[in-house]
Amino acid sequence: MKIRKLYKSEKTVISFEIFPPDCEEKFSRLNNEITVLSSYTPAFFSLTCGASGKKNSYSKNILERLNTHVKTDIMPHFTCISCSKSEIDSRIEFLKSQKIENILALRGDFPENTNEICKEFCHANELVEYLKTKTDFSIAVAGYPEGHIESPSIKKDIENLKKKIDAGADAIFTQMFFINNKFFSYLENLENAGINVPVIAGIMPVISAKQLDKMTQLARITVPSALKDKIQTHAADKNYIKNLGIEFSTAQCKELLENKIKGLHFFTLNRAYSTSKILDNIL
């Protein structure tokens, strides 16, 4: 089902993000994790393109295989910063051949080799606009409750988001966040800016101190001091951190559900355990 219709439901929609495995062993392991996650009847799985802006991280083979193995819809991430118009057109035709209905349109990470940066599509709104002329995809875009790390202010970031919505995007999927009040304030700011499409909350359970440190270096994310203190104190205790992450995200999701948000989108890191425990607690 296209996301432009999916989020008209009064019930909060559950979905999961996965990333493409880079070997057969990891693909087999991911299939096992997907089997567990599928028992929660998600609306779809989103499939990332990988990191560092590498062109070869977009794997047609992985999407084809997931379409064969997974009964649930797949929403591929669709990046543009390293792609020419002809490469975009080729990707569009491939996704059409796979009967894809939904995509997440992103600028993407800058490539490690700056010579690979293409000037035809510099921003996600340009990609959205082009896709609207070429396809009937339902298009989601990214939002940042605390502002994109490259943006000088939350106001400027929302101005850029408005360009993506005005270009034809149907929904906003947020970056992970830990403080719900920042998300609720973000919703108010979007409404004041005339943005009225569904906003889907991005949830990433903490599974390790290293994972959290990496994410907060790459993005503008505030970690509550109480959570940060516990993680720092027990950083070496993997089971403690994992259970703490489940406990924290459970409370976070319960509050979001009480406020009748449109959707919860879990960044699973290709691991079902924490997300499945959270869903057991909230559903």
For Cα atoms 263, 282, 201, give the angle at the middle one, nearest 5 degrees.
25
Residue 4 lies in a domain: no
pLDDT given for residue 69 in this prediction: 82
CATH number at residue 211: 3.20.20.220
- Provide the whole-model pTM: 0.94
Contact 83, 111 (CB under 8 A): no
Reading the chain (283 residues) residue by residue, the pLDDT tens digits are 999 999 998 899 999 999 999 888 999 999 999 999 999 999 999 999 865 444 444 478 889 889 888 889 999 999 988 888 999 999 999 999 999 999 999 998 776 666 666 778 888 999 999 999 999 999 999 999 999 999 999 999 999 999 999 999 999 999 999 999 999 999 999 999 999 999 999 999 999 999 999 888 889 999 999 999 999 999 999 999 999 999 999 999 999 999 999 999 999 999 999 999 999 999 9
Distance between CA atoms of 260 and 12, rounded to whole angstroms? 7
Residue 233 lies in a domain: yes
Contact 236, 171 (CB under 8 A): no
Residue 3 lies in a domain: no
Active site residue 17: yes
User: Domain residues for 204?
Assistant: 11-282
Residue 2 lies in a domain: no
Residue 216 lies in a domain: yes
Q: Where are the beta strands (DSSP E) in 107-228?
A: 138-143, 171-176, 199-203
Residue tagged active-site, from 17, 33, 101, 146: 17
Residue 6 lies in a domain: no
Residue 144 lies in a domain: yes
Number of domains in the chain: 1
